[in-house]
Amino acid sequence: MTKLEIHNPFNAPVYHEETVTSTMDVSRELAASGEPHGTVIAADFQEKGRGRIRDRKWEMERGNLPFTILLHYPRIEEIPQALTLRAGLAAALAIEDFCPSLKNTVMIKWPNDLFIGSKKTAGILCEADGGNVHIGIGINFAQKLFPDHLREKATSIALAAGRDFSPCDRLRLLERVLVRLHAELETAGWRERLQQRLYKNGEQVVFVEGAAGSKNSITGCLAGIGEGGELLIVPDGEREERCFITGELL
């Protein structure tokens, strides 16, 4: 594992490993060995990257940007509200800082995706264990060709911006994510900030409620984010909004 010389406003080390199982696993090891709040592990390649939905793999070619930020919150009440969404917001703003031609194009699809247009460009996975939260972020960065099953669903910064990037450019983006995340966690008013960037806010949506594989789908108007980060939808034929804490927007 090497230590990268990039700015981390959390004042903690940023490590890099070429190949890992998952940066989430390494982050747990770093926590166990006493690394401080804000420590980061980035990798070139993950052999067993994982997604938010159990059993869903997260596959990324080399040249992209998978990393995990370790945060210490000894008491559960200290964990910032809506942390996954706010990490997504920080990553969206960081992508736009890094690539100004994408300004105001990166949207947050509840609860953990970043979309440019109708395609996913990044995913967030937060895991908690004994006083730590591990914020895993996978950003499709330089990849220009996606396998058939992802071609219609995924994009990257390079594809969206219509340019090529070098591997070193990833570190500038990583630095921006850390700066934006640090600022996000220090600033009140996250709900308004999120709602301005919420994918399909005010639009008609189809939402599958509950765990993966659920057949309970709801159509209605997406009405924003609640005080705890829940998704608000006014179902068709109803007047009041309902809030949802698990499920997936189609």
Nearest to 68 by CA among 129, 7, 105, 14: 14
* Interface with ligand BTN, residue 229, by CB under 6 A: no
> Site for ligand BTN (CB under 6 A): which residue of 113, 169, 175, 248?
113
How many angstroms separate the CA atoms of 142 and 139, rounded? 9
> Site for ligand BTN (CB under 6 A): which residue of 8, 39, 84, 112?
112
Beta carbons of 102 and 161 less than 8 angstroms apart: yes
**How far apart are CB 160 and ligand BTN at their closest, in Å?**
17
* Interface with ligand BTN, residue 106, by CB under 6 A: no
**How far apart are CB 204 and ligand BTN at their closest, in Å?**
23
**How far apart are CB 37 and ligand BTN at their closest, in Å?**
18
Q: How many CB atoms lie within 10 A of CB 37?
A: 15
Tokens of 74: 């000894």
**How far apart are CB 26 and ligand BTN at their closest, in Å?**
9
In 6-50, at which residue ranges do the beta strands (DSSP E only) sit? 14-20, 39-46
Nearest to 126 by CA among 84, 96, 64: 84
* Interface with ligand BTN, residue 88, by CB under 6 A: no
Beta carbons of 23 and 65 less than 8 angstroms apart: no
> Site for ligand BTN (CB under 6 A): which residue of 23, 132, 140, 156?
23
Which positions lie near ligand BTN, rule CB under 6 A?
22-24, 46, 49-52, 58, 66-68, 112-113, 123-125, 136-138
